[in-house]
A and B are shown apart, each in its own frame.
Chain A
Amino acid sequence: MISSRERSIGLRQARAQRELRNRKDSAFAIVGLVATLVGIVMLAVLLIDIAQDGLGALSWTFLTSFPSRFPDQAGILSALAGTLWVITLTAAFAFPVGVAAAVYLEEYAARTWFSSIIQTNINNLAGVPSIVYGLLGLGLFVRMLQLERSVLAGGLTMALLVLPIIIIASQEAIRAVPPSFREAAYGLGATKFQTTWLIVFPSALSGILTGTILALSRAIGETAPLITIGALTFIAFLPDGLKSPFTVLPIQIFNWISRPQAAFHEKAAAGIIVLLVVLLAMNAAAILLRNKYQRRVEW
């Protein structure tokens, strides 16, 4: 038996320990706040710096002019159009292939050593440096398939780059669909195909779209693979077809930054603002799509 005196000593110790725990708790809250602010503050500094340099150079003429060797005439039109071309093609290739692969892996593939090897490889591919995809695109699309330095080769290379990300995001979205939906569909006599495409896919769509758009916004900022496959840095015309040469925003920005004239550096900052606006627009679209479908699909 523990005497009441012993018990009260025990309680006092417990209370002291509790105070220590509480202090640890508030200490961590401060550390966490600082950690959070580091990122935000850096981003703010970056944005302010770019805005100071670039806002002056940003104008309608800047958006509608081709590059030029005279800084006051140089614009971003061909790079903006090239980016939109590449990203559209990337989405057109990567979305159907990625979704089909994710549906297959989640709903159809038997859980064997073979499918787990595929899964592991997809996860690894998502971490492969983008320049490696550039080399692959150069060898496969530009040389072997003789697509030249075309916007099509660029789109295909980028599609390879984002494919693993789209597959993984789609798999997660499909996995999040409650098994009870599948059971209900099967219980009514639905085939696997009907269950997958009429019930599972629509329920997973918002997650799939969100993942796809975030993957595409990663692709928009990529420069290395496109330089590797030979995207040009000076394009004074708009892409007029799949075989057309092209440039993209990050390449144009890089090109301007590497010029000695300060006026071009302002153009680069303005280009960065345009790139950020495109990225933010895509992320906003992802959020809108998610909200739109989530209101209808709640479980």
Chain B
Amino acid sequence: MVIQIKPEQIKMAKPLGSPTTAEPTHPQDSVLEAEGVSIYYGERPALRDVTLSVRRNSVMAIIGPSGCGKSTLLRCFNRMNDLIRGSHLEGKVLFNGQDIYASNVDPTELRSRIGMVFQKPNPFPKSIFENVAFGLRINGFRGNLRDRVEHALRRAALWDEVSDRLGSSALSLSGGQQQRLCIARALAVEPEVILMDEPASALDPSATYRIEELIDKLKEDYTILIVTHNMQQAARVSDMTVFLLAGEERTGELVEIGPTSQIFTNPRDKRTEDYITGRFG
């Protein structure tokens, strides 16, 4: 079952359309685009007609009250919604210009290129080293595992804290460290995009600050989509912000999308203004 890939190919193998070699043929060098995306759980639409595009090496924040479909939107970009029985998607989702819901796309390969960090830190009950190495192992990496693990841990600003105890259990780390470990685990497989689902909501303020700092550094090399409940966080870390809102029938819709500074200082929609000023949600 292990996919045989040569070490150098981990980042090189790009059947979904290579961003480094191919010239961008789509507007503004978008990495991810959603075109009229609606997502259903069974009969119930959770999200209706969302269109947006995410520029390379930028951070896009997805904000909105609970139950407006933020996570659902986030998870359609790496096809995590596929794992939920009875869910289906209408519309198009493009990654580097290619439809990721096309029948010839392997979702597991897609997920190795679009990493994900979850709301609650979820390290495996394995050692720190094995957590980071897991993604490499399952993707058939056969180069210097130690180097790649160290590199990923350094990128996630965790190396200095764990370099002397890589063999101890990941569960011995603090919550904030665990979340950075999860980020390192996602970085180790060299994705292009990282999806973050409220990555700091279970952490204390100082751990949250470190994650935000990290996001700021990571966007030099990665494109980041982050769902957050925290308005200040969205304002601090993101370049673009998209505001979702669910109506009476609990179906989320895109209300407004724009540069973060504009959304927070001069929103065009009354509902956006109400939400960011804390009048509801």
Contacts and interface: CB of A to CB of B under 8 A. Distances in A.
B112 interface: yes
B171 interface: yes
A84 interface: no
A189 B122 contact: no
Contact of B109 (A189, A193, A202, A203): A189
A181 B138 contact: no
B138 A194 contact: yes
Nearest to B172: A298
Interface of B: 1-2, 78, 80, 83, 85, 108-113, 115-116, 118, 120, 122-125, 134-135, 138-139, 169, 171, 182, 185-186, 189
A3 interface: no
Contacts of B182: 184
A289 to B, nearest CB: 16
B80 A189 contact: no
Nearest to A110: B85
Given A183-B80, A183-B118, A189 B124 contact: no
A187 B186 contact: yes
A191 B111 CA distance: 10
Contacts of A180: 118, 120, 122
A199 interface: yes
A293 B115 CA distance: 30
Contacts of A194: 1-2, 138
The interface centre, meaning the residue of A184, A190, A203 with most chain B CB atoms within 10 A of its CB, is A184
A120 B235 CA distance: 53
Contacts of A202: 125
Closest A-B pairs by Cβ, 7 of them: A189-B112, A187-B116, A188-B135, A180-B122, A297-B125, A189-B111, A184-B122
Contacts of B120: 180
Given A181-B124, A187-B186, A296-B169, A198 B134 contact: yes
A187 B115 contact: yes
Contact of B108 (A181, A184, A191, A198): A191
Given A180-B118, A184-B185, A185-B134, 18 more contacts: A178-B122, A180-B122, A181-B125, A182-B83, A183-B118, A184-B122, A184-B123, A184-B124, A188-B139, A189-B111, A189-B112, A189-B135, A189-B138, A191-B1, A191-B138, A193-B1, A198-B138, A202-B125
A299 interface: yes
Interface in A210-238: none
B111 A183 contact: no
Nearest to B136: A188
A298 B189 contact: no
Interface of A: 111, 178, 180-191, 193-194, 198-199, 202-203, 296-299
A190 B138 contact: yes
A185 B137 CA distance: 11
A66 to B, nearest CB: 49
Contacts of A184: 118, 122-124, 182, 185
- If over half of A's interface residues share one DSSP class (helix, strand or loop), that class is named, otherwise mixed; here it is helix
Nearest to A188: B135
Contact of B78 (A178, A187, A296, A299): A187
Nearest to A184: B122
A269 to B, nearest CB: 46
A188 B125 contact: no
Given A181-B122, A190-B108, A299 B171 contact: yes
A109 to B, nearest CB: 12
A194 B136 CA distance: 12
Contacts of B138: 185, 188-191, 194, 198
A286 to B, nearest CB: 20
Contacts of B118: 180, 183-184, 187
A111 B85 CA distance: 9
Contacts of B134: 185, 188, 198
A198 B1 CA distance: 12
A188 B171 contact: no
Given A111-B85, A194-B1, A298-B171, A187 B80 contact: yes
A183 B123 CA distance: 11
Nearest to A190: B138
A188 B115 contact: yes
A93 B37 CA distance: 50
10 contacts: A111-B85, A180-B120, A183-B122, A187-B115, A187-B116, A187-B118, A188-B134, A188-B135, A188-B139, A198-B134
Nearest to A177: B125
Nearest to B116: A187
Nearest to B78: A187
Contacts of B171: 298-299
B281 to A, nearest CB: 26
A187 B134 CA distance: 11
Contacts of B169: 296
A191 B123 CA distance: 18
Contact of B111 (A178, A188, A199, A297): A188
Contacts of A183: 80, 83, 116, 118, 122
